[in-house]
């Protein structure tokens, strides 16, 4: 199921299921990708654009996000442009408005002239939302750790995690929301055979704007 289909499914199914909250909006991820491989560092920059949506049913919140765009950097053939597509599905249990824990599944797809690489990440995630004293304004921090992370038909990651810190504002008089965060992702690939280990990091600013109805 693609991210778009999952997003559509959430919006279609949420009202009949009696969801207490529904939200969605646009996402922009201004990302820098850095790869350390065989002693050399390669950097790529790009802006991924997408959308996110979610619904809350009791203490459970289900969310889907999708981003896509092109990462490019200097280097010509040695550092070719990559079309990236990221789809994330999150299921969070929110026992209190402050803390949420759950599971996260993410698929990353990188398409270059040389071929296509797909990553599969399955892991746990935790989030805190802390009141900053101004109505509607909360500081957020979210950490995701993926014990199961690998490239489809390829190498397995020895470490995969993501951290995001930022702030979120929800208008007390309306459904509009704005999110701003700094995201940092780390993916370590073990050395396989004669191939050396590879380290990848994604980092950058994440900006989101949308609406949220209910809790």
Partner 1 sequence: MRRALPGLGARIVLALLLLVGGWGAAAAQSPAGRLIQAARAQLEAPNPDSAATLLERALLPGTGATTAEQTRAFVLYGIAQLMRGTTGRPMFRQALQRDPALRIDSLYFFGDEIEREFTAERAALAPPVSQAPRAALSVTVDLPLDTDLSAGDGRLRISGGSSYPARVVAVVTPADAPTVVLWTDTQRVNVTTLAWNLRRADGTLIEPGRYALRLHAVDSLGQISQPLERVLQITRVTVDTQAAPAVPTFAAESLRLRGSPTSLLLGVALGAAAVGLPAMGSSDLNSSSGLGSDGSRYAVAGVVAVAGVAGFLVGHRVRPIPANIVQNRQARARYEQDRARIAQLNARARENAPVHVHVEGPGR
Give least dist CB 10 to partner 1, A. Answer: 27
- Between residue 7 and residue 66, which ones bind partner 1 under the rule CB under 8 A? 30, 32, 34, 36, 41, 43
Placement of tokens 């889907």 in the chain: 64
Q: How far lies 190's CA from each of 144, 146, 149, 154, 198, in Å?
A: 20, 15, 12, 11, 7
Nearer to partner 1, 30 or 150 (CB): 30
The first and second tokens of residue 70, run together, are: 């092109």
Nearer to partner 1, 88 or 142 (CB): 142
By the rule CB under 8 A, 98 interacts with partner 1: no
By the rule CB under 8 A, 203 interacts with partner 1: yes
Distance CA(22)–CA(15), nearest Å, equals 9
Q: Which of 60, 112, 155, 205 binds partner 1 (CB under 8 A)?
A: 205
Give least dist CB 1 to partner 1, A. Answer: 31
Give least dist CB 137 to partner 1, A. Answer: 6
Nearer to partner 1, 6 or 29 (CB): 29
- Between residue 115 and residue 144, which ones bind partner 1 under the rule CB under 8 A? 130-135, 137, 139-141
The first and second tokens of residue 49, run together, are: 């654009």
The torsion defined by the Cα of 143, 147, 151 and 153, in degrees rounded to 10, comes to -160
Binding range to partner 1, per CB under 8 A, among 51-59, 71-79, 106-114, 198-206: 198-206
Q: How far lies 10's CA from each of 131, 140, 160, in Å?
A: 28, 24, 27
Maximal C-alpha separation, the chain: 60
Distance CA(117)–CA(140), nearest Å, equals 31
By the rule CB under 8 A, 180 interacts with partner 1: yes
Residue count, binding to partner 1 (CB under 8 A)? 32
By the rule CB under 8 A, 80 interacts with partner 1: no
Nearest to 31, CA basis, from 162, 189, 197: 162
Give least dist CB 134 to partner 1, A. Answer: 5
E-strand stretches of the chain:
21-37, 40-57, 60-72, 82-93, 99-112, 115-131, 137-151, 157-170, 176-189, 198-214
The first and second tokens of residue 87, run together, are: 């789809």
Residues lying near partner 1 in the complex (CB under 8 A) are found at: 30, 32, 34, 36, 41, 43, 130-135, 137, 139-141, 161, 163, 165-167, 180-182, 184, 186, 188, 199, 201, 203-205
């Amino acid at each position: 199921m693609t991210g778009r289909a999952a997003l559509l499914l959430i919006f279609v199914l949420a009202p009949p299921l009696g969801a207490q909250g529904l939200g969605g909006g646009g996402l922009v991820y201004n990302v820098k990708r850095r790869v350390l491989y065989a002693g050399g560092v390669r950097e790529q920059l790009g802006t991924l654009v997408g959308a996110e949506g979610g619904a809350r049913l009791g203490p459970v919140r289900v969310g889907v996000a999708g981003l896509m765009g092109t990462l490019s950097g200097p280097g010509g053939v040695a550092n070719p442009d990559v079309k990236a597509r990221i789809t994330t599905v999150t299921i969070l249990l929110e026992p209190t408005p402050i803390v949420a824990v759950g599971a996260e599944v993410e698929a990353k797809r990188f398409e270059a002239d040389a071929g296509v690489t797909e990553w599969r990440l399955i892991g746990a995630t935790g989030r805190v939302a802390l009141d900053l004293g101004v109505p509607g304004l909360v500081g957020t921090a979210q950490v995701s750790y993926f014990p199961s992370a690998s490239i489809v038909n390829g190498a397995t990651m020895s470490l995969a995690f993501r951290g995001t810190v930022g702030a979120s504002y929800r208008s007390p008089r309306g459904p509009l929301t704005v999110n701003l965060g700094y995201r940092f992702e780390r993916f370590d690939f073990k050395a396989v055979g004669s191939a050396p280990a590879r380290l990848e990091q994604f980092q950058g600013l994440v900006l989101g704007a949308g609406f949220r109805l209910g809790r």
